[in-house]
């Protein structure tokens, strides 16, 4: 009874692989993927780190006890508390820089998230089309089994030759082997999806896919320029670089120090304030020039990435458009070409020979396989094209 309960609980704990579509699977990945969860924690840790060092240094407390070298001198006691400050405007500059760096850390996480979700989406399409391939091969195997049994029966009755029987047997073996290989690929793909999802998954029999649309290229480029997270990231790096320049300039302002001191001697006690200024003559030399050079680099990198991203988007768009056209041509060809039922009737009526039948059947299957591969490639190219929306 305990074993049965454990088995049932393990089945209940499995998450069904979403059959509604890729979006449901991506939600699982975003919620449970171990790398994404770790990246989120890292981003939060970095944000916390950027908020340190924004306040003045800790105060210093001093105490001194100095006995004289003979009794007549008595003992001198000193004490004091001192606090050093950066120039007041430095703290404002540090705070703005820290906030900007926190935003940059968040954008770094968003880029990692996009890449991980794109990886998951591409793997999901691999899995989805393997399921379609499995369904296709199941139909082929059932047809091949019936055909082989029919030839075996006719051979036993002396109505067909051993050559024709062997052709049916070889074709049946090929299809059976292909079907078994597809099952292995599905198992492997399912494990990859489970790793990405971060939770155990039950294999699905089928998943729903909807063919994405391909709008005009100018619309795609405009949306990429407005929403591409990588461009937002490089824009933010420029802001960080500019704020670094402002902070470097602020650091040339003098530091301040305020001290309250007291000194007690046998004759009496002295108390008072002492103020000082630290003049930055050498410590921060060339920091402004360094920050300016980094800002120029970030600006150049931003302009370079804009050009590169636009070119990459155009290239992906053209690839997706090419596959869309090929996909439509294959659909038209398959709709107009001879299918399995047509070939069966032609063979039964004696319009084609056995050799012609198996050749035509193999050609039809190859065309169907090519169409499935093109269909998968089209979906994956579209996924890469619209990755910035993830």
- Interatomic CA distance for residues 297 and 274, integer angstroms: 45
Mean pLDDT of the chain: 84
What value does the mean pLDDT take over residues 302-323?
90
Token pair 């970095």 is at which residue?
Answer: 46
Fold of the 14-389 domain: Outer membrane efflux proteins (OEP) (1.20.1600)
Res. 14: pLDDT tops 60: no
Q: What is the pLDDT of residues 165-222, one digit of tens each?
A: 888 888 889 989 999 999 999 999 988 998 888 887 777 666 777 777 888 999 999 8
Query: In this predicted structure, what is the pLDDT of residue 164?
Result: 81
Check residue 9 and give its pLDDT.
Answer: 40
Q: Return the higher-pLDDT residue of 338 and 352.
A: 352
**Given this model, what pLDDT does residue 338 score?**
63
User: Which has the closest alpha carbon to 96: 227, 301, 250?
Assistant: 250
pLDDT at 20 over 60: no
Split at pLDDT 50, 70, 90, the class of 10 is very low
What is the average per-residue pLDDT within 355-369?
Answer: 84
Each domain of the chain, given as residue ranges in start order, spans 14-389
DSSP single-letter state for residue 261: E
What pLDDT does 85 receive?
Answer: 80
């Amino acid at each position: 009874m305990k074993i049965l309960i454990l088995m049932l609980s393990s089945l209940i704990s499995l998450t069904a692989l979403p059959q509604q579509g890729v979006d449901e699977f991506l939600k699982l990945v975003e919620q449970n993927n171990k790398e994404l969860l770790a990246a989120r924690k890292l981003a939060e840790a970095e944000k916390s780190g950027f908020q340190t060092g924004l306040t003045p240094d800790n105060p210093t407390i001093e105490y001194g006890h100095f006995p004289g070298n003979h009794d007549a001198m008595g003992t001198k006691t000193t004490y004091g508390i001192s606090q050093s400050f950066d120039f007041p405007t430095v703290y404002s500059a540090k705070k703005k820089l820290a906030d900007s760096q926190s935003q940059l850390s968040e954008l770094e996480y968003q880029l990692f998230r996009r890449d991980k979700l794109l990886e998951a989406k591409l793997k999901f399409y691999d899995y989805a089309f393997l399921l379609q391939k499995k369904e296709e091969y199941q139909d082929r195997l059932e047809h091949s089994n019936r055909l082989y049994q029919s030839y075996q029966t006719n051979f036993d009755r002396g109505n067909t030759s051993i050559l024709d029987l062997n052709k049916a047997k070889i074709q049946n073996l090929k299809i059976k082997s292909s079907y078994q290989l597809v099952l292995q690929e599905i198992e492997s793909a399912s494990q990859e999806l489970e790793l990405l999802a971060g939770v155990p998954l039950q294999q699905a029999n089928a998943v729903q896919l909807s063919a994405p649309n391909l709008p005009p290229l100018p619309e795609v480029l405009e949306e990429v320029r407005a929403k591409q997270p990588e461009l937002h990231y490089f824009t933010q790096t420029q802001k960080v670089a500019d704020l670094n320049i402002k902070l470097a300039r602020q650091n040339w302002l003098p530091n301040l120090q305020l001290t309250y001191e007291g000194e007690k001697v046998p004759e009496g006690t002295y108390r008072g304030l002492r103020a000082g200024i630290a003049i930055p003559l050498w410590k921060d030399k060339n920091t402004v020039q360094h920050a300016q050079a980094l800002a120029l680099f970030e600006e150049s990198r931003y302009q370079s990435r804009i050009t590169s991203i636009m070119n990459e988007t155009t290239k992906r768009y053209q690839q997706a458009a090419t596959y869309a056209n090929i996909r439509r041509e294959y659909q038209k060809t398959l709709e107009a070409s001879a299918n399995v039922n047509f070939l069966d009737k032609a063979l039964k009526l004696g319009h084609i020979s056995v050799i012609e039948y198996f050749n035509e059947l193999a050609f039809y299957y190859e065309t169907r396989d090519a169409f499935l591969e093109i269909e998968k490639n089209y979906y994956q190219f579209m996924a890469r094209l619209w990755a910035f929306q993830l």
